[in-house]
Amino acid sequence: MLKDVSCQIEEHKIIGLIGRNGAGKSTFLNILAGHIKPTAGKVTIYQDNPFNSITTATNTMFIEEGMTFPNGNNIARILEIAKCFYPNWQQELAEKLLQYVGISLNGLYDKLSKGQRSTFNLVYGLSARCAITLLDEPMNGMDEAVRADMYRAILKEYIAYPRTIIISSHHLKEIEHLIEEILLINNGQVALHKELEEVQQFAVRLIGQPEQLEPYRNHALFERNEGPLAEIIVEKKYFNGHSSIQSEAVSASDVCKYVTANRMGGIDDVFK
C-alpha cells in the first residue's frame, strides 16, 4: 500500500492527511497507531516504535469507521471503561457532547445509526485527550449540521488541550480552516507535505493563447484547451510573470487535486 513515505510530523499540530480513495491514508494511520507493522522502513513516535508498544497505544487514539465496542455494552459502560484506560479521560466533556448531539448514555452502541456512530467515535476520541489523535475520515455519515459542530469541537478541544491531531479526508475544503499542515499521499507516496499557506501558493493557473503557453507545457500539472484559450496549471516556481499571460491563484484543494490526478487533461480527455 505505502511505498515511499518519508516525513516528519511535529507535535501539537493539526495535520490534514489528504489523498484520493485507496491512496494509503488508512494504512499510514494504522501504522502510526501501531496496528500494522510496516514491511520495511522505520516509524518512530517520541523515540518509540509504535508497533506493539503499550506506551504508544495508551497515548494514541485512532478513530475510524470500522471501530467496534463490545457487543451489549451501553454507552455509559463504554465511557466507564475508557476512564480506566485513558489517564486524561474527560468524562464530563464526553457526557456533555453526547447529550448535545442527542446520543443517550443508556443506548447500545450497536443500535446507533451510521452517523451517530461516527459522532460517538469522535467524542470518544476527543475525550480521551491522547497526545496523538488520529482521525480517519471522522465525519463519515454525519449530517451537515453535526459536521460543522464536530469540527468546532475538535478545534475547541485542541485549544483547550493541544495535541497532535492527524485528520484524514478526501475532501480538503472541509478541513482547510482547521489544519496547519497538509500531508498529501498519492499512490502510497508522500506527494506534498507543506504548510497550508505554502500549498495555497504552490501553483498558478495560466490562461492564454496555446502558443503563449507552449513553454510551460512540459511542467504542466494539468492542461486544457477550450476554443481559442488554453489553461495550464504549473508550479509557481516555473512562472516568471509573463505579462500577457493571465495568472490566477490555485486553491489548496485544487493543488491537491491536480498533483494527484492520474490524467493530465482530466475528464475532458475522456470525451475527446
Partner 1 sequence: MMYSNNVSIWKNIVSQVKWKLGAHNSAVLTIVIIQLIIAAIANHGSMRGSGLNNMQVTEYIYSLDSVMMVSVVAVAATCIALSSKRTQSDNLAIPTTRLTASISTILFIWIITFITTVTAIVSQNLVQVVKILVLDLDIIGRTLVPSVTVFFVFYFILLCAGAVGYFIGVMFSLSKIVTILSGVLFIVYLAKVEQNIFIWLLDESYGMFMLKILLIAIVFYALALFVNNRQEVRRG
Partner 2 sequence: MNLNIDGTTPIYVQIAEWLRNEILAERLVADSKVYSQYQLAELFNINPATAGKGLTLLLEEEILYKKRGLGMFVTAQAKEMILQKRRGETLQQLARELVVEARRLAVTDDELIELVQKMQRGE
**Residues engaged in binding partner 1 (CB under 8 A):** 11, 30, 34-37, 46-47, 52-55, 57-60, 62, 64, 66-73, 77-78, 81-82, 84-88, 124, 131
d(C-alpha 189, C-alpha 14), whole Å: 20
**Pairing label, strands 229-235, 203-208:** antiparallel
Of 168, 171, 138, the closest CA to residue 153 belongs to: 138
Which does residue 104 touch among partner 2, partner 1, none (CB within 5 to 8 A, set by kind)?
Answer: none
Give the binding range for partner 2 (CB under 8 A) out of 30-38, 45-53, 150-158, 182-190: 150-158
d(C-alpha 191, C-alpha 164), whole Å: 21
Give the SS3 label for residue 86. coil
Which does residue 177 touch among partner 2, partner 1, none (CB within 5 to 8 A, set by kind)?
Answer: partner 2
User: Which residues in 20-122 belong to E strands, given as ranges?
Assistant: 60-63
151 binds partner 2 (CB under 8 A): yes
Task: Give me the least distance between CB of 32 and partner 1, in Å please.
Answer: 13
Residue type, 199: V
Task: Give me the least distance between CB of 33 and partner 2, in Å please.
Answer: 23
Cell 498529501, residue located? 184
Task: Give me the least distance between CB of 1 and partner 2, in Å please.
Answer: 29
C-alpha cell at 75: 454507552
Which does residue 252 touch among partner 1, partner 2, none (CB within 5 to 8 A, set by kind)?
Answer: partner 2
Task: Give me the least distance between CB of 154 and partner 1, in Å please.
Answer: 19
- 63 close to 101: Cβ distance less than 8 angstroms: no
Residue from 116, 254, 257, 259 that binds partner 2 (CB under 8 A)?
254
Residue 176 or residue 231: which is nearer to partner 2 going by CB? 176
Of 31, 10, 9, 29, the closest CA to residue 19 belongs to: 29
Which does residue 260 touch among partner 1, partner 2, none (CB within 5 to 8 A, set by kind)?
Answer: none
173 binds partner 2 (CB under 8 A): yes
Other beta carbons within 10 Å of 52: 10
Of 60, 123, 134, 132, the closest CA to residue 90 belongs to: 123
Give the binding range for partner 2 (CB under 8 A) out of 92-100, 152-160, 212-220, 226-234: 152-160
- 63 close to 135: Cβ distance less than 8 angstroms: yes
Task: Give me the least distance between CB of 204 and partner 2, in Å please.
Answer: 11
Strand order of the β-sheet with 246-249 is 222-226, 229-235, 203-208, 246-249
Which does residue 159 touch among partner 1, partner 2, none (CB within 5 to 8 A, set by kind)?
Answer: partner 2
179 binds partner 2 (CB under 8 A): yes
- 208 close to 246: Cβ distance less than 8 angstroms: yes
Q: Which residues bind partner 2 (CB under 8 A)?
A: 13-14, 151-152, 155-156, 158-159, 173, 176-180, 196-197, 200-201, 248-254
